[in-house]
Amino acid sequence: MRTSNLGVGIENLSVLKSLAEIDVTSFTEAQDTMHTLDRALEEISSTRVEIRAF
């Protein structure tokens, strides 16, 4: 897994496209970062479940 592939597809007010682009220099960017991190954690958890299925 690469950070550029995690947290993709979140609608946000800043220009974040993935976990690789997180930025907390403003309030809006910090909020968007939190949403991106949440999505990335969901994706990691899902992948962990898939790996255990084998």
Written as one letter, the residue type at 7 is G
Do 18 and 4 form a contact (C-beta atoms < 8 A)? yes
Write down the pLDDT at residue 52. Answer: 86
- Note the pLDDT of residue 53: 78
At 27 the pLDDT is 96
Q: Would you state the pLDDT for residue 15? A: 87
Q: Hunting for tokens 């991106």 — which residue is that?
A: 36
Give which of 52, 54, 53, 51 is closest to 1, Cα–Cα.
51
CA separation for the pair 18, 11 (Å, rounded): 11
- Domain enclosing residue 22, as ranges: 3-52
Model pLDDT for residues 1-54, shown as the tens digit of each residue: 899 999 999 899 998 899 999 999 999 999 999 999 999 999 999 999 989 877
How many domains does the chain fold into? Answer: 1
Backbone angles phi, psi at 36, to 5 degrees: -65, -40
Full-model pTM: 0.84
